Amino acid sequence: MRFIFNSLVLIFFSLTVFAQTNPNGTIAGQAMVVSAHPEASRIGLEILQKGGTAFDAAVAVEFALAVCYPVAGNIGGGGVLVYRKKSGEVGALDYREKAPLAAHRDMYLDAQGNVIAGLSQNGHLAVGVPGTVDGMTNLHQKLGILPFKEVIQPAIDLARNGVTLTEKEARGLNNNREDFIKYNHFTPPLVKNGTWEKGELLRLEDLAKTLERVRDYGRAGFYEGETAYLIVREMQKGKGIITYQDLQNYRSVWRRPLVGNYKGHKIITMSPPSGGGILLLQMLGMLENYDLKKMGWHSPQALQLIAEVQRRVFADRATYLCDADFYPVPIDNLLNKRYLAKRMKDYNPQKAGVSSQIKAGEISETISEQTTHYSIVDKWGNAVSVTTTLNNGYGAKVMVEGAGFLLNNEMDDFSIKPGYPNFYGVIGGEANAIAPQKRMLSSMTPTIVEKNGQLKMIVGTPGGSTIPNSVLQTILNVLEYGMGMQVAVGASRLHHQWQPDVIFVEENGIDKKTAEALEKMGYKLQYRSGIGRVDAILVLPDGKYEGGADPRGDDTALGY
C-alpha cells in the first residue's frame, strides 16, 4: 500500500464552519475534532458549535462511531480516555471491559492444557463485559454541560436514517461476511445479498432503538431492562457466559493518569490496565539522553535506536503489566531513570539486539488491532484524548440480535496461557492471567502533551500492540523533527514488540539504503500495510489548532 502524505482536502457542508486547510493539515481558530470517520467528526463538530465542551463532543463522537464505524466504534466494547481541562486539571477514565464472573484462568485450554485455537478471538465466549455505555454516561455526568439527550440524538438519527458507506467500510463488511454468518444465529444487518458498494446506505434500526433506550434511561438503558435481556439471551444462545449480574455490576473507574516529562514537555497518558502509557513513558525516558534530531529522521541510527527501545519495553510488558486492581504493577520502578538507563546498558549502536537474550528488567522493591481513536479540543481549551475498541476488527463478529450492535473479543487480551501470544503476537505473563471481574491488559495510549503549562498536543491511535510505538513516533516527529501535525501523522512508521524478533516496516516506509543498513546490523525486516491510524491535534504558535487526520483511513479533521 502506498501512502500519500500530503494533506486531506476536507469539504464541509455548513457555512458556519470557518476551518481552513493548508499543506500541513486542517487549521481552525477555536475548536477541533479528529476522528476515524467523517460522519463522527461532523457530529462532534456540531456539538462543539452548539456550545458543548470537548467532553460533550466526545460522548457524541463515541456513539456516532458505534453507528458509522462498526469495525471498531462500539457500544459493545470499551476504552480509555485522558482529559485536560483549561485550568490544567487532568484525569483519566477507564471504561475497559471486564472478565465475566464465570471466567476462569484456563477457560480457553483443552484437557491437556493446550490453547483451543480461535476460542478467545471469535464467538460468544470471547466477549468481555462491555464498558462503553457506562463510560460515556459517567463522562457526561462529570464533565458534560449539554443535555445527554442532545449529545446522543445525532447517533440515533444516523442509525435510523442510514450512514453512507465509504469504500473502506464497504470492503470491510464484504471481507467479514462469512464470519458474520458463521458466528451469528440470524442474518445481521451487516450482511446483504450480494456485496456492499461505496455510497450505499447502511441502516441499523435495532441499534437506533438501543440508543434510544440509553438516551431515555442512561446506563440503565443498556445494563438493565430490554437491552440487558437481549444481551443475556444472545449469550445463552451462543454458549457465552455474561449474565445479568455481570451487566449490573459493571462500573467504569476514574483513575489518575500517568505523568512524565520529555525534554521540557509534560506527557499525560493512560495508567493501567492500559499498558501503553507506561510503555510510552519508558521509551521517552530511554530516548531522552540521545540526540535523535542530529541522527536525522528515519536514519539507520535513529530507527535502530527506536527499535531497541521498543524491544526492551515490550519485554517488560510481558512480565509486569496488567490490571493494577488485581496485581501490583511496579509503575514507579518501571519509570525510574536509573532503571531505564540500566535497560539500555547493553544497547549496541552498531549491532542488532537479540530478543531471546533480552528479558524483562529486574526490579527491586525499593525502586510498577482494531481500535479507534479521536482527539478533541473545544473553544475553552479543554482537551480529551479517547481510544475505544472491540479489539480485533468487528470484535467477536457477534451481533446482539434485536439490539443491533457488535460485541467485543477482548478476552483475547488476557494471557490465555502464560507465554502464549495473543492475536497481535504479544506474549503475556502470569500477571495478566484471566480472573473474574478483572480488566484485561490493553495497549491503548491516549496522550496529551503540555509545554510550559499550556496545551501542546492531543494524540492517540488504534493498532493493537503497535499503539504505543505509533504514538511515540508521532510525538517525536513533532518535538524532535519539527513536523506539523498532518505531516507527523502521515509519516511512515516502524514497530518492534520484542517477540517476534523482527522490525515491522510499512511498505515503502524506508528507502533501500536504510533497509540494507539495518539488515547489515543484523535486523530482520518484515514489510506490512499501515501501522496505526493516528488522529491528533497540535496547538500552533499563534494559538490556532492543526488537526492531523491519518491518510491510512477515512479519518477526518474538522474545526471552526
Q: Give the distance, in angstroms, between the CA of residue 106 and the centroid of all CA atoms in the same chain.
A: 27
CB atoms near residue 539 (< 10 Å): 22
pLDDT over 50 at 362, yes or no? no
What is d(CA 456, CA 463) in angstroms, rounded to the nearest whole number?
23
Q: Which domains does the chain have, with CATH numbers?
A: 31-254+371-432 (no CATH), 270-370+459-550 (1.10.246.130)
Q: Is the dihedral of CA 337, 340, 346, 348 positive or negative?
A: negative
| Burial group, residue 533, by CB count within 10 angstroms (0-12, 13-18, 19+) | buried
Residue 432: DSSP 8-state: G
What is d(CA 467, CA 497) in angstroms, rounded to the nearest whole number?
11
pLDDT of residue 322: 58
- The pLDDT-based confidence of 369 (bands split at 50, 70, 90) is low
What is d(CA 264, CA 267) in angstroms, rounded to the nearest whole number?
10
Q: What is the mean pLDDT of residues 28-33?
A: 98
pLDDT tens profile 465-511: 899 999 999 999 999 999 999 999 999 999 888 777 889 999 988 99
Q: Which H helix or E strand runs over 262?
A: strand 258-262
Q: Phi/psi at 256 (nearest 5 deg)? A: -85, 125
What is d(CA 305, CA 80) in angstroms, rounded to the nearest whole number?
29
Q: Phi/psi at 283 (nearest 5 deg)? A: -65, -45
pLDDT over 60 at 217, yes or no? yes
List the one residue out of 487, 483, 460 whose CA is nearest residue 5: 487
pTM of the entire structure? 0.90
pLDDT of residue 56: 98
pLDDT tens profile 281-293: 999 999 999 999 9
pLDDT of residue 319: 72
pLDDT of residue 86: 97
pLDDT of residue 415: 85
Residues acting as catalytic residues: 371
Q: Give the position of cell 481558530.
A: 29
Q: Phi/psi at 415 (nearest 5 deg)? A: -80, 95
201: left (phi over 0), alpha (psi -120 to 50) or beta: beta
Q: What is the mean pLDDT of residues 522-545?
A: 94
State the Cα torsion 441-383-258-500 to the nearest 10°: 40
CB atoms near residue 185 (< 10 Å): 12
CB atoms near residue 408 (< 10 Å): 28
Average per-residue pLDDT for the chain: 89
In three-state secondary structure terms, 184 is coil
What is d(CA 468, CA 463) in angstroms, rounded to the nearest whole number?
9
The more confident residue out of 266 and 415 is 266
pLDDT of residue 214: 98
pLDDT over 50 at 44, yes or no? yes
The more confident residue out of 314 and 435 is 435
In three-state secondary structure terms, 496 is coil
pLDDT of residue 426: 53
Q: Flag the least confident range among 202-206, 432-436, 454-458.
A: 432-436
What is d(CA 271, CA 139) in angstroms, rounded to the nearest whole number?
17
